[in-house]
Chain A
Amino acid sequence: MFPKEERIWAWQKIPESSRIIFFASIIIIIFLTPNLAEGYESTWDEVNINSNNNYNAAVIDSNGDAWVFGDNGVIIHGEKLTNWSIVNSPTVEDILTADSNENLVVAAGKNGVVIYKEILSNEWINIDIDNQTRINSVSINNFDEIVIVTDLGGIQIYKDNEWLQINSLTSEKLFDITFENERGLISGSSGLILGSEDNGLTWEVRDTPEIVAESEIISIGYYKANRAYAITSEGNILKSTQESLTTTVGYSWTIKEIESENYSTSMNVNLTSLEILSTTKILLTGEEGFVALSKDGGNIVTPQLLPDGNTYLKINDMAMENAFRGIIVGDNGKIFYTENGGEDNPVGFEIIDLSNFNEFVDFTKDNLWEGLKATVKIVIFGILLGFFLGIMLAMCKTAPTTLKQMIESDLEKTLILFWIGIPISIFSTRENGIGLGIFTFLSIISISILLDQYINKKNTESDGFLGILIPEQHRNKVIKILGLSLLIGVPISGGMNINGGVELIYSALVDFHDFQLGSDTPKLSAQLAYIFAPIGNPSAFFALIIGIGLTYLGILFILTNGTFTKKTIYAGKLILLVILWTVILTELFVGFNLDKFDLNVSNLMKFGLLLGIGFFLTRRIIPKLSRKEIKINDFSISIDPWSLRPLNSIATLYTDFFRNTPLLVQFMFIHFGMQLGKHIQNIGVDFTGDLAIISSYLGPLDNLISPLIEYVNESLFGPGKRSYLSAIFALGLNSAAYQCETIRGAIAAIPSGQMEAGRSIGLTYMGTMRLIILPQAIRICIPPLGNEMVNLVLNSSLASVIAYTELTRQGKLVVAITFQIFWTWGMVMIAYFVVTWTLAILLRRLEEKTRIPGLGISGGN
């Protein structure tokens, strides 16, 4: 009964839904694969010592040996940061802090324990303070004297073998002390910073920003004599610079607005320690495995990864030998070691012979490979975005819906659109921003369509839309009222008003007028500057376009007489009309000055009278003149305002814009001008944040979902993804305009009988389009679409101008390092060729696979 062809590969037998899921998962996997060029591999290596103590403090002494101190007085010695061993400790108290200089290593902790060791000696000496207080920090001043601060606000100096109490002016907790030659700084709770200029004998309170007045300044440090930083346990970064050559650093403190946190002052991390590597380079640690580097003094803070499994580890301290080599220590016996400041980029002086092709390729292949992957990623999503948008635009362009149809058959739908959908969306936009506004609009449209299908499910006779059917005799009146409402909007004061077409045009023109462009020179050419007005006030420009559209519709609807056919106007009448309105408008508006316009009775009378005469002549007298009376009867003009297709107009505006501007400029406008990537990133971060909140209510499922959400958030909207998002959109939006025209051409090539056949079996227009026209049209346009896709791959090289590190940009970087111009660009070219050629072969194969007998002339059989 069912003679089936034998199939070796049973792809067709897999249910359609599974196939869609298959493709969707591949896409999601590709989309979410982290870009290694933008990600960070952990360069902190774990040091293995058999100990589970919590380590609280670390220092590296002037020999380059590390000393790590922890609970129960444990001391770890890391010789040259490589040979690690546990050494005998003179105390069993928990050690909380440590410091070193050229001669001494010193540590201190709970119950007043203080121990020190001379660099050249191996023996630790105990110099405990009697009074059992908790020592939060220890430091060494310029005279090799040990200075400690306590949890109760005490400061003591070990001078001449005995502890000397210093007046600290406060009873706040003191957390950290540091010295740079004779100058010292102490930080404490309630935003306290103390300073000393005399090796810690006297201290004074320094000004700190109001915003940290309640915060605990957990760590503070100098970089030489000209920069100091401090951090709070709430994630703020404070900075102090030398205000002039004569003053010293540490007097006035400012709080950093952290650019990588959207200019927030806090990183929302409980910071634990700070290490200052240069005037602008600082390393931070925090609870929950937080390690971060800022290379520009806290503007951009880049988190670093620890090896797997340390996500919730509390990091307590760090010690850096120089800007690259150092260790961090934390709870549970964890010590991590790095040789390059935790950064991904290898720092070293490996000598590479770049004139040897083998070594050159070895040196650059990673860059090019990363670039290639980055290119493929934006290309795939650019193609997908462009293709779907292109199909939508092509369908809009070929949509037969005319104004006549909207008003004649779909008046109820049109009313709901203009009187309910759009106003509510505008309110929603005002309240909650454009994103929710669009969401509201789409929801209203889809809900009303679904509701209508539900209401009209069993009725064969049409009962209008949503069961509303305006009777025949009232339809014209309703159309006129609709027209009036489009012209004047909803003129309610307060937040409730919605501007009509006239008001929109008026206010936009006022806004443009306010630029006073070219007002200095009366020449006409100066007035041409107004072509740039749209960019001076984009919202006014959009208001103008929408206003013109609404006014057109409004006037058309008001003037309706029930027949929606075209009008034939004899040239004579047209000329009369033009003369009439030129005279009236000149009379009204020449010398009209908006600023000085006085809304008094005589002005209103003049306006009313002239407009009244104009409309009376237009409607009553001129149409009744016969041809003979006008004496020009051999020439007529047909206008058909009702045949305007709104969807087509919108799609045409879109394609005209994108096809008539250069892609390079579009890239720069979208990324730098509109900052589209940044906006999408913000929306995405908010969205995933909301998802995380929803997911937190799901109980045990949350453990599964929240890492996924976090992963999506990181790989799509994480730091450094802005140019990625911008590049996808710039490529996709541009390509959509071209693909739209290609697909439209293919739709036009399908015989109109196919549409008739589809409609005649009862399919809707969209159904016929989806099931019959598009499957054939797409097959026809595979070759030109392939062409467009190859173009898109090649155009993706322009993404290098917005700092997206794709293949071309990697090529530039490689050239900048190696100066091997011929090899580099040659390799880049080969890489591009491989991508596009593969794409072309795939498309050729697709074309053969999908070829249908009898459709088009394709050569061969």
Chain B
Amino acid sequence: MDDDVLIVEDLEKIYSGGVHAVRGVSFKVKKGESVAIIGSSGSGKSTVLRCINRLIEPTNGIIKLNGEIINNPLADVNEIRSKIGMVFQSFELFSHLKVLENITLGLKHVRGMNKEESEKIALEVLDRVDMLDRIDAYPGNLSGGQKQRVAIARSLAMHPEVILFDEPTSALDPELIGSVLQTIRGLADEGMTMVIVTHEINFAKDVADRIIYMDKGLIEEEGPSDIIEKPKTDRLKEFLSAMDEE
């Protein structure tokens, strides 16, 4: 129980248009564990991820980070978010800032560090994602893979308890995916707690300690990474065969 970093209980989300995106999802993430959430489009997996750091307010359910309920309207949402890293599908680098400034921004303005401290940490994390040679470039001049690695560095710099990856490779060209996956795999090996929403079945199998398959807002199947090899439910089988055809 103590090593559960993240606990999601009976999470439910109804969008204001009436769409019932998530219909009661529960799972736990242990410290150092990486969990992959897979599923077809519209299965609610991105919504789950966004509910965890309250970019979307859940309609019902409880989310605990280190045992503390975080989806209470009275909780300090900024404090919580600074402990949860998030990597987006479309990178969302701050295009008016250079690579280095993208990373030091949060350190300076959220953690209150000075220039030297924040740059030290920034260079450290840029080294981890192998982006030291482009620290003075603007995001607009980077390739997709490089952008995503900077985005990963940006969330790493805040020393988060857990990093959420929202389809980190689906906006990338196939030849650029490799470097990003390599980086994420490196983080997994270092023992970073991660929740990854992805379409890359093989990557999920490779990196994740546990895989959650979601369909129509519910967890259809959950287990160690070999459920990809031996799916129990028909839906997962269908999903996997559809992915194979692509």
Q: Write the residues of chain A forming the contact surface with B, with a CB cutoff of 8 angstroms.
A: 1-5, 408-409, 456, 460-462, 464, 469, 566, 751, 753-754, 756-764, 767, 771-772, 775-776, 779, 852-855
Neighbouring B residues of A5 by C-beta, 8 Å: 136
B68 on the A face (CB < 8 A): yes
Q: Is the CB of B79 within 8 A of A460?
A: yes
Contacts A767-B109, A854-B95 given; does A757 touch B86 at CB 8 Å: yes
Task: Kindly identify, within residues 86 to 113 of chain B, every residue whose CB is under 8 Å from any CB belonging to chain A.
Answer: 86, 88, 90, 92-96, 105-106, 109-110
Please indicate the chain A residues that have their CB under 8 angstroms from the CB of B94 in the complex.
754, 757-758, 772, 776
Which of B74, B88, B140, B154 sits near A753, CB closer than 8 Å?
B88
Flag whether B174 is at the interface (Cβ < 8 A): no
Interface pair B110/A763, CB less than 8 Å apart: yes
Residues of A within 8 Å of B182, CB to CB, are none
Give chain B's interface residues, CB within 8 Å of chain A. 16, 50, 53, 55, 68, 72-76, 78-79, 81-86, 88, 90, 92-96, 105-106, 109-110, 123, 135-136, 138-141, 154-155, 158
CB of A430, distance to nearest CB on chain B (Å): 36
- Verify A776–B95 contact, CB threshold 8 A: yes
- Using known A-B contacts A753-B90, A757-B94, determine if residue A771 contacts B140 with beta carbons closer than 8 Å: no
Query: Is the Cβ of A761 less than 8 Å from the Cβ of B76?
Result: no
A5-B136, A462-B76, A772-B94 given; A759·B55 CB < 8 A: yes
Residues of B within 8 A of A462 (CB): 72, 74-76
A759→B138 contact, CB < 8 A: no
Decide: A461 and B84 in contact? CB cutoff 8 A: no
Q: Give the interface centre of B83, B94, B154 by most chain A CB atoms within 10 Å.
A: B94
A853 to B96: give the CA distance in the assembly, Å: 8
- State in angstroms the CA–CA spacing of A776 and B97 once bound together: 10
Please classify the interface of chain A as helix (H, G, I), strand (E, B), loop, or mixed, using the class held by over half of its residues.
loop
Return chain A residues, CB-CB under 8 Å to B123: 1
> A854 contacts B140, CB within 8 Å?
yes
The chain A residue sitting closest to B95, CB to CB, is A855
Determine if B88 and A853 form an interchain contact, defined as CB atoms under 8 angstroms apart: no
Query: Judging by beta carbons under 8 Å apart, are A754 and B105 in contact?
Result: no
Check A761–B88 contact: CB distance below 8 A: no
**Residue in B55, B82, B96, B141 whose CB lies within 8 Å of A762:** B82
Residue of chain B at shortest CB distance from A856: B95
Contact B92 A756 (CB under 8 A): yes
When C-beta atoms are compared, the residue in chain B nearest to A470 turns out to be B74
Contact (Cβ within 8 A) A757 B68 = no
What residues on A are CB-neighbors of B84 within 8 Å? 760
Instruction: Please give, as numbers and ranges, the residues of chain B lying within 8 Å of A775 by CB-CB distance.
Output: 96
Partner of A761, one of B75, B138, B154: B154
> Chain A CB within 10 Å — which of B53, B86, B109, B135 has the most?
B109
Q: In the complex the two chains form, is B106's CB within 8 Å of A762's CB?
A: yes
Q: List chain A residues, Cβ under 8 A from B109.
A: 763, 767, 771
In whole angstroms, how far apart are the Cα atoms of A779 and B96 in the complex? 9
- When the two chains form their complex, are residues B110 and A762 in contact, meaning their CB atoms are under 8 A apart? yes
B96 contacts A855, C-beta separation under 8 Å? yes
Residues of A within 8 A of B135 (CB): 2-3
Take A757-B86, A757-B94, A762-B110 as given contacts and tell me if A464 and B79 are in contact as well, using a CB distance cutoff of 8 Å: no
**Choice from B79, B138, B155 contacting A852 with Cβ under 8 Å:** B138
Asked whether, in the complex, the Cβ of B110 is within 8 Å of the Cβ of A760, the reply is no
Known contacts A761-B105, A763-B106; A464 and B96 CB within 8 A of each other: no
Least CB distance, A230 to chain B, in whole angstroms: 69
Q: How far is the CB of A823 from chain B (nearest CB, A)?
A: 49
Check B76 against A461 for contact (C-beta < 8 Å): yes
Contacts of A751 in B (CB 8 A): 90, 92
Chain A residues with CB below 8 A from B53, complex form: 760
Q: A753 vs B140: C-alpha distance in the bound complex, in angstroms?
A: 16
Chain A residue at smallest Cβ distance from B105: A771
Q: Is the CB of A763 within 8 A of B136?
A: no
When the two chains form their complex, are residues B140 and A461 in contact, meaning their CB atoms are under 8 A apart? no
Contacts A464-B74, A776-B95 known; A855 to B140 CB distance under 8 Å? yes
Instruction: Find chain B residues with CB under 8 A from A3 CB.
Output: 135-136
Residue pair A854, B75 in contact (C-beta under 8 Å): no
Chain A residues near B50 (CB, 8 Å)? 756
Specify which of A456, A761, A853 lies most central, judged by the most chain B CB atoms within 10 Å of its CB: A761
When the two chains form their complex, are residues A763 and B78 in contact, meaning their CB atoms are under 8 A apart? yes
List 11 A-B pairs, Cβ < 8 Å. A2-B135, A409-B73, A566-B16, A760-B155, A762-B79, A762-B81, A763-B105, A767-B109, A772-B105, A852-B96, A853-B139
Cα separation A601 to B74 with both chains bound (whole Å): 47
* Closest Cβ–Cβ distance, residue B159 to chain A (whole Å): 11
Residues of A within 8 A of B110 (CB): 761-763, 767
Of A409, A762, A771, A779, most buried by chain B (CB within 10 Å of CB) is: A762
Contacting pair B136 A852 (CB below 8 A): no
Tell me the smallest distance from the CB of A753 to a CB of chain B, in Å: 4
Q: Which residues in B have their C-beta under 8 angstroms from that of A4?
A: 136
Query: Given the interface contacts A763-B106, A767-B109, does A852 sit within 8 Å of B76 by beta carbon?
Result: no
A759–B81 CB distance below 8 A: yes
Closest to B83 in A: A762
> A776 and B96: CB pair below 8 A?
yes
Complex CA distance for A767 and B95, rounded to whole angstroms? 16
Q: Which residues of A contact B75 (CB under 8 A)?
A: 461-462
In whole angstroms, what is the CA distance A724 to B110 when docked? 44
CB pair A756 B88 closer than 8 Å: yes
Specify which chain B residues have a CB less than 8 angstroms from the CB of A759 in the assembled complex. 55, 78, 81
Q: Is the beta-carbon distance between A757 and B92 smaller than 8 angstroms?
A: yes
* Distance in Å: Cβ of B40 to nearest Cβ of chain A: 22
Closest Cβ–Cβ distance, residue A12 to chain B (whole Å): 12
A761 touches B106 (CB 8 A): yes
- Inter-chain CA distance A779–B94, complex, in Å, is 13
Q: Closest residue to A564 on the B side, CB-wise?
A: B73
Chain B residue nearest to A853 (CB atoms) is B140
Smallest CB gap from A568: residue in B: B18
A761 to B93, CA, bound (A): 12
The residue among A4, A5, A776 with the most chain B CB atoms within 10 A of its own CB is A776
- Report the separation of the CA atoms of residues A576 and B78 in the bound assembly, to the nearest whole angstrom: 46
With A5-B136, A761-B158, A854-B141 known as contacts, the answer to whether A469 contacts B74 (CB < 8 A) is: yes
State whether A460 touches B76 (Cβ < 8 A): yes
CB distance from A394 to the nearest CB of B (A): 18
Residues in B neighbouring A763, C-beta threshold 8 A: 78, 105-106, 109-110
Contact residues in A for B55 (Cβ distance below 8 Å): 756, 759-760
In the assembled complex, which residues on chain A have CB atoms less than 8 Å from the CB atom of B68? 461
CA distance A762 to B113 in the complex (A): 14
**B146 CB to closest chain A CB, in angstroms?**
12
Q: A409-B74, A852-B138 are in contact. List 19 more A-B contacts (CB 8 A).
A: A5-B136, A461-B75, A462-B74, A753-B92, A756-B92, A758-B94, A759-B78, A759-B81, A760-B155, A761-B81, A761-B154, A762-B81, A762-B82, A762-B158, A764-B78, A771-B109, A776-B94, A853-B140, A854-B140
B136→A761 contact, CB < 8 A: no
Shortest C-beta distance, A118 to chain B (Å), equals 89
Q: What is the minimal beta-carbon distance from B153 to any residue of chain A, in angstroms? A: 12
CB of B131 to closest CB in A, whole Å: 13
Q: Report the separation of the CA atoms of residues A259 and B78 in the bound assembly, to the nearest whole angstrom.
A: 58
Assuming the contacts A461-B76, A759-B55, asked whether A852 and B81 have C-beta atoms less than 8 A apart, the reply is no
A754 touches B92 (CB 8 A): yes
6 tightest A-B CB contacts, nearest first: A854-B140, A762-B82, A853-B140, A757-B92, A761-B106, A760-B86
By a CB distance below 8 angstroms, the chain B residues around A762 are 78-79, 81-83, 106, 110, 158
Are the CB atoms of B141 and A853 closer together than 8 Å? yes
Q: Which residue of B lies closest to A754 (CB)?
A: B92
Determine if A852 and B92 form an interchain contact, defined as CB atoms under 8 angstroms apart. no
Closest to B138 in A: A853
* Chain A residues with CB under 8 A of B93: 757
Distance in angstroms from A259 CB to nearest chain B CB is 54
Q: Which residue of A lies closest to B75 (CB)?
A: A462
CA distance A464 to B136 in the complex (A): 42
Query: How far is B135's CA from A5's CA once the two chains are assembled, in angstroms?
Result: 12
Taking the closest CB of chain A, its distance from the CB of B224, in whole angstroms, is: 29
Residues in B whose Cβ lies below 8 Å from that of A2: 135
Complex Cα spacing A352 to B177, Å: 82
